[in-house]
A and B are shown apart, each in its own frame.
Chain A
Amino acid sequence: MPLIPGIGHTAVLVGLGLTVYAVTAFVLAARSADPRLAASGRRAVIGSFGAAAVGCAAMMISLLTHDFSVLYVAENNASTTPAFISAISLWAALEGSILFWTLLATGWAALVLHRHRDRHRALMTWVGATLATVNAFFFAVMVWPGNPFTLTSPVTAEGSGPNALLQNHPFMALHPPLLYLGYTGLAVPFAFGVAALITKRLDEEWLRIVRRWTLIPWIFLTLGITAGAWWSYEVLGWGGYWAWDPVENAALLPWLTATAFIHSSMVAERRGGLRIWSSALVIATFVLTLVGTFLTRSGVVASVHSFTQSSIGPWFLTAILIALAGALTLLVWRLPELIGGGRPSGTVSRESAFLLNNVLFLGLTFAVLFGTLLPLLVAATSGDTISVGAPWFNTVTVPMFIALLFLMGVGPALPWGTAGWVTVRERFTIPLLAAVLVTAAALAVGLRSWGPLGTLGLAVFVAGIMVDEVVRGARARARSRDEDPATAVWRLTTRNRRRYGGYTVHVGVLVMAVAVAISSGLAIDRTVTVSPGETATIGAYEITHRRLVVEPLEFDAQVIETRAELTYSGPQSGELGTALRDYPNSPTAIATPAVRTSLGEDLYVTLLASDPATGAVTLHLFVNPFVVWIWIGGAIVGIGSAFAIWPERHARRVEVEQRQAMGAASAEGA
C-alpha cells in the first residue's frame, strides 16, 4: 500500500481502537470510581483527536500531491486543480467530509474532557464514555462503509476533478467548516444530558455547564447556516438564498431545538424544574444532527447536496435509532424522579413568554421536519410522489417566525414571576407608539407591501423595548451608584454580558428579519436578451452589453468560460462579467452570476444563454434590496453571542476589591 494513504488508514484504525478503549476505560472508571482509569480514558480521547488529525493530514497531502492511487482523490481532484481547491476538497465529498467531521468531533471531546478534568468527576466519566462512543461510531464508518483511503485499481493517470459547483466560490472554504463545528459540537450537551440522567445530576450546576457547551457550537451553527445561505446566493444564480432544500432544513432543525434549549434553560435556572424538558431538548438536538447527516448523505431524499449516494445510510440509520432509543430509555427510566421541582409563575410573565417561545421553536421544528419527510411518508404509504417546496414552507413557517419576533420583544419586557397589567401597559406603550409612527411614516413614504411593513413595525417595537430596558437599567444604576448616564450604560451592558449579549443577538435577528422581509418582498427581476451595444434597464439601473467572450479560465485551463461583459450605471456603476462555465466533468454549464453589493441593494446578473454567432446574450437581471443586511445581521448575532459567553473579568475585580476592603476594615478594627 502506498505510504501516505497507508498512514492515513492506519490512523483511522488507531482512532477506532483508542475510542473503543476510552469507552471501556470510562465505563469501568464509573463503576469503580477510579480516577486513573478516567484519566487514561481522557488521554485516549485526546489520542483519538491526534489520530483524526493524522488522517486529515494524510488526505490533505494526497489531495495536494494529486495522488490518484487514492479513490477519493481520483474522484475529487485532477492534476490541474489549484492548490486552494485541492485543500478544501477535504470536505468536498462524503468520505473526506466524515474524516473532517471526526477531526472536529474528537477535538470537541478532547477539549471538554480536558477543561473539566478536575471537576464533576462522576459526571465527566459518563460524558467521556458518551462522546467516545459517538466518535467510535464515526471511526467505524471510516473503517468499513466509508473508507476515505480506499485505493484505486488500476491507478488512473488523471482524476475526475472536483465537483464544478464546489469550486466556483471561496465560501466553499467557509461554510462546511463552520457548519461542521456546530454540528459536531452539539454532541457535547447531549453527552452531558446522558451523563446527568445516569448519575442523577440534573441540577443548576449541570444547567450552567450545558448551556455554555450548547452556546459555543450554536454560534458556529448559526454562522455556518448564514454562510451557506450567502454562498448559495452568490453561486447558484437564481437570486435567492434559501430554498427549503432538505439539507438546508437538516441544518436548521438542530439549530431550532438548540435555540429553544438556550431560552428554556434560563427559565430552568431561575425557577428550577423543567429538567425533563431540558434533557429532552439536548437529546433531540443531537439526534437531529444525526438525522440531518442521514438526510444529506444517505440518498433517501434528493437535494442540492446529493453529490454522492452511498452505503453509509444504513449505518447512520442504526446510529440514529440507537442514540434515540438509548437516550429516551434513560429519560423514561429517570422520569419519576425528574417530574416537578420548579417554582410556579404567573400566566403572564417572562417565564411563560420563554416557554411559549419554546412551543413556537418546537412547532417550527415539527413543521420543517414534517415538510421534509412528508414526500417520503407519502411515497412509503401510497406510492405517490408529491413535492413540498418553498411555497408550503414559507406559508407555514412565516407566521411562526413573526410570532417569535413578537415574543422576542415581549419576553424581556415582562418581569420574572407575575406581571400585572400596569407593568404591561408601562413597558409596551412607548415602543408600540414608536412602531406605529415608523410604520405610518414608511406607508407615507411609499412602502406598500405588507410583509416588509409589518416586519419593520414589529422590529421597531422589539427594538424599542430593548432600548427601554437599557434606559431603565442605566437610570436605576446611575441613581443607586451615583454614575453619570454614559458610564451607567457602559457598565450596565458590559457587566451583564449574558443579558446584553443576548439583546445584541436579538438586534442581529431583527436586522436579518427586516432584511429578509424587504429583500423578498421588494425584489424585482426581469429576463432580457441583448445584442452587443444594446442596453436594458431594471429598476434604477441601466445595463449595457459590451461583448461576449469565450475562453479558458486563467487558473484552470480545463474550464471554458462563456462570459458576457457588461457595464452598468445607476445607484452603483461600473463593469461586470457574468458567465457560464463548462467544467469537463459536468454535463451542464455552471452559472457564475455577478453580484454588485451595496448597503441599499444588490445588482445581480445571471447569464442564461448566449449566441456565439451574434454575441447576443439572455440575462436574468435582479435588483435585490437590503440583502447585505442579512449577512451583517448574521455577523451581529455571532458577535452578540460571543460577547454573551465571554468570561467576565469584573467578577474577579469585585472579589479583589472586597478582599481589600475587608483587609482595610480589619486593619482599622485591630
Chain B
Amino acid sequence: MRHLRWLLVPILVVPLGWLLFTGFGRDPREVASPLIGQPAPEWTLSTLDGDLLSTDDLAGRPYVVNFWASWCIPACVDEHPVLAAAHDRHGDAMTMVGVLYQDTTADAEAFLARYGDAGYPHLVDPDGRLAIDFGVTGPPETFFVDADGIIRDKQFGPLTDALMDERLASIGFDR
C-alpha cells in the first residue's frame, strides 16, 4: 500500500508527455475547416484580365479555388508549378481559379510574369470578402469543390504534386 505513492510519477509525467508530443508534426496555425461537406460560397468577381466571373459560370464542373499572394514566399512560389501542372492535366474536366489574397494587381501580374501564367483566371478580391467566406487565415490555401458545388477537401499550406493528386481524388479525379 505504501508503494502506491510511486504511481504519482507516471500519473504526472505520461499525460504531459503525450499532450506535448501530439503537437509535433501538426502545423499549429492550421484551422479545421467547417466548410468540408458544405456548399461552396457563391461569388461574382472580376479577374485580373478584367472579365467578370461567377460561380454560375462554373456550375456543373468540379473546380479548385486557390488563394495566393505575390508576397507569400516561398510557399506560393513552390506550389505554383504544381497548380499549373494540374491545370494542364485536368483543365478540360475541371476549372482552376486563383484568388488574390491581400495583394495588388500590379504585384500579382509581376509574379505571374516571373513564374509563368498557366492560363487560368485569377480573381481580384479587393475587400477580402471571399477570403472570409472561405475562412482563409493566410495564403496559400486551396479548396476542392465537386461538380455539385460541395466543398470536399481543403489544403492548408502549399500543395505538392502528391498532395494535389490526393485532394483531386476527393472531387472525382483518379490518380
Chain A contact residues, CB within 8 Å of chain B? 291, 294, 298-302, 306, 313-314, 317, 320-321, 324-325, 328-329, 332, 335-336, 373, 376-377, 379-380, 383-385, 587-588
B9 touches A321 (CB 8 A): no
7 nearest CB pairs, A to B: A300-B23, A587-B71, A380-B22, A302-B28, A385-B32, A385-B31, A302-B29
The residues of B that contact A314 with a CB separation of less than 8 Å are 24
Interface assignment of B12: CB less than 8 Å from any CB of chain A: yes
The residues of A that contact B23 with a CB separation of less than 8 Å are 298-301, 313, 376, 380
Q: Answer whether A383 and B32 are a contact pair too, CB < 8 Å, given A324-B12, A324-B13.
A: yes
The residues of A that contact B73 with a CB separation of less than 8 Å are 587
CB-CB contacts below 8 Å: B36-93 with A: 69, 71-73
Q: In the complex, A324 Cα to B12 Cα: how many Å?
A: 9
The residues of A that contact B32 with a CB separation of less than 8 Å are 383-385
Q: In the complex, A336 Cα to B19 Cα: how many Å?
A: 31
A321 touches B24 (CB 8 A): no
Q: A373-B19, A380-B18 are in contact. List 17 more A-B contacts (CB 8 A).
A: A300-B24, A301-B23, A313-B24, A314-B24, A317-B21, A320-B17, A321-B13, A321-B17, A324-B12, A325-B13, A328-B8, A329-B9, A332-B6, A335-B5, A376-B20, A385-B31, A587-B71
* Total contacting residues, chain B, CB less than 8 A: 26
Q: In the complex, A385 Cα to B29 Cα: how many Å?
A: 10
**Minimum Cβ distance to chain B for residue A73 (Å):** 20
B9 touches A325 (CB 8 A): yes
From A301, A377, A385, residue with most partner B Cβ within 10 Å: A385
Q: In the complex, A587 Cα to B175 Cα: how many Å?
A: 35
| 26 pairs, CB–CB < 8 Å, chain A vs chain B | A298-B20, A298-B24, A299-B23, A300-B23, A300-B26, A301-B23, A302-B29, A306-B28, A317-B21, A320-B16, A321-B17, A324-B12, A325-B13, A328-B8, A328-B12, A332-B5, A332-B9, A335-B5, A336-B2, A376-B20, A376-B23, A377-B19, A379-B22, A379-B26, A380-B22, A384-B32
Interface assignment of B30: CB less than 8 Å from any CB of chain A: yes
Q: In the complex, A74 Cα to B20 Cα: how many Å?
A: 31
Residue of A nearest to B21 (CB): A317
**Minimum Cβ distance to chain B for residue A131 (Å):** 22
The dominant DSSP class at the A interface is helix
**Minimum Cβ distance to chain A for residue B69 (Å):** 7
The residues of B that contact A332 with a CB separation of less than 8 Å are 5-6, 8-9
The residues of A that contact B8 with a CB separation of less than 8 Å are 328, 332
From B5, B8, B20, residue with most partner A Cβ within 10 Å: B20
A587 touches B69 (CB 8 A): yes
The residues of B that contact A328 with a CB separation of less than 8 Å are 8-9, 12-13
Q: In the complex, A380 Cα to B28 Cα: how many Å?
A: 11
Residue of B nearest to A300 (CB): B23
The residues of B that contact A291 with a CB separation of less than 8 Å are 20
CB-contact partner of B16 in A301, A321, A587, under 8 A: A321
Q: In the complex, A376 Cα to B24 Cα: how many Å?
A: 10
**Minimum Cβ distance to chain B for residue A476 (Å):** 47
Residue of A nearest to B6 (CB): A332
CB-contact partner of B28 in A294, A301, A317, A335, under 8 A: A301
CB-contact partner of A324 in B16, B21, B29, B71, under 8 A: B16
**Minimum Cβ distance to chain A for residue B125 (Å):** 17
Q: In the complex, A299 Cα to B9 Cα: how many Å?
A: 27
CB-contact partner of B20 in A300, A302, A306, A335, under 8 A: A300
Residue of B nearest to A333 (CB): B6
The residues of A that contact B9 with a CB separation of less than 8 Å are 325, 328-329, 332
**Minimum Cβ distance to chain B for residue A330 (Å):** 10
CB-contact partner of B19 in A298, A299, A380, A384, under 8 A: A380
The residues of B that contact A588 with a CB separation of less than 8 Å are 71
B13 touches A299 (CB 8 A): no
The residues of A that contact B30 with a CB separation of less than 8 Å are 385
Residue of A nearest to B20 (CB): A317
Q: In the complex, A306 Cα to B28 Cα: how many Å?
A: 10
**Minimum Cβ distance to chain B for residue A580 (Å):** 14
**Minimum Cβ distance to chain B for residue A106 (Å):** 26
The residues of A that contact B17 with a CB separation of less than 8 Å are 317, 320-321
Residue of B nearest to A588 (CB): B71
Q: In the complex, A303 Cα to B115 Cα: how many Å?
A: 32
The residues of A that contact B26 with a CB separation of less than 8 Å are 300, 379
B31 touches A320 (CB 8 A): no
The residues of B that contact A300 with a CB separation of less than 8 Å are 20, 23-24, 26, 28
B19 touches A376 (CB 8 A): yes
B20 touches A320 (CB 8 A): yes
Q: In the complex, A306 Cα to B19 Cα: how many Å?
A: 19
From B5, B18, B28, residue with most partner A Cβ within 10 Å: B28
The residues of A that contact B2 with a CB separation of less than 8 Å are 336
The residues of B that contact A299 with a CB separation of less than 8 Å are 23, 28
Q: In the complex, A384 Cα to B26 Cα: how many Å?
A: 13
Residue of B nearest to A325 (CB): B13
Q: In the complex, A325 Cα to B164 Cα: how many Å?
A: 44
Q: In the complex, A306 Cα to B138 Cα: how many Å?
A: 15
Q: In the complex, A383 Cα to B32 Cα: how many Å?
A: 7
**Minimum Cβ distance to chain B for residue A317 (Å):** 5
**Minimum Cβ distance to chain A for residue B147 (Å):** 27
Residue of A nearest to B17 (CB): A321
Residue of B nearest to A329 (CB): B9
Q: In the complex, A440 Cα to B31 Cα: how many Å?
A: 49
Residue of B nearest to A299 (CB): B28
Q: In the complex, A294 Cα to B5 Cα: how many Å?
A: 29
Residue of A nearest to B10 (CB): A325
The residues of A that contact B24 with a CB separation of less than 8 Å are 298, 300, 313-314
**Minimum Cβ distance to chain A for residue B136 (Å):** 14
**Minimum Cβ distance to chain B for residue A167 (Å):** 19
**Minimum Cβ distance to chain A for residue B152 (Å):** 17
**Minimum Cβ distance to chain B for residue A561 (Å):** 18
A294 touches B20 (CB 8 A): yes
**Minimum Cβ distance to chain A for residue B74 (Å):** 11
The residues of A that contact B31 with a CB separation of less than 8 Å are 385
Q: In the complex, A298 Cα to B16 Cα: how many Å?
A: 15
The residues of B that contact A329 with a CB separation of less than 8 Å are 9
The residues of A that contact B13 with a CB separation of less than 8 Å are 321, 324-325, 328
**Minimum Cβ distance to chain B for residue A614 (Å):** 17
Q: In the complex, A286 Cα to B69 Cα: how many Å?
A: 43
Residue of B nearest to A330 (CB): B9
Q: In the complex, A328 Cα to B11 Cα: how many Å?
A: 11
**Minimum Cβ distance to chain A for residue B37 (Å):** 14
Q: In the complex, A15 Cα to B18 Cα: how many Å?
A: 32
**Minimum Cβ distance to chain A for residue B32 (Å):** 5
Residue of B nearest to A376 (CB): B23
**Minimum Cβ distance to chain A for residue B137 (Å):** 10
Residue of B nearest to A331 (CB): B8
Q: In the complex, A299 Cα to B21 Cα: how many Å?
A: 11
The residues of B that contact A298 with a CB separation of less than 8 Å are 20, 23-24
The residues of B that contact A385 with a CB separation of less than 8 Å are 30-32
**Minimum Cβ distance to chain B for residue A177 (Å):** 27
From B23, B24, B31, B32, residue with most partner A Cβ within 10 Å: B23
Q: In the complex, A325 Cα to B16 Cα: how many Å?
A: 11
**Minimum Cβ distance to chain B for residue A655 (Å):** 46
Q: In the complex, A302 Cα to B5 Cα: how many Å?
A: 37
The residues of A that contact B19 with a CB separation of less than 8 Å are 373, 376-377, 380
Q: In the complex, A332 Cα to B10 Cα: how many Å?
A: 12
The residues of A that contact B5 with a CB separation of less than 8 Å are 332, 335
**Minimum Cβ distance to chain A for residue B36 (Å):** 12
Residue of B nearest to A587 (CB): B71
**Minimum Cβ distance to chain B for residue A643 (Å):** 37
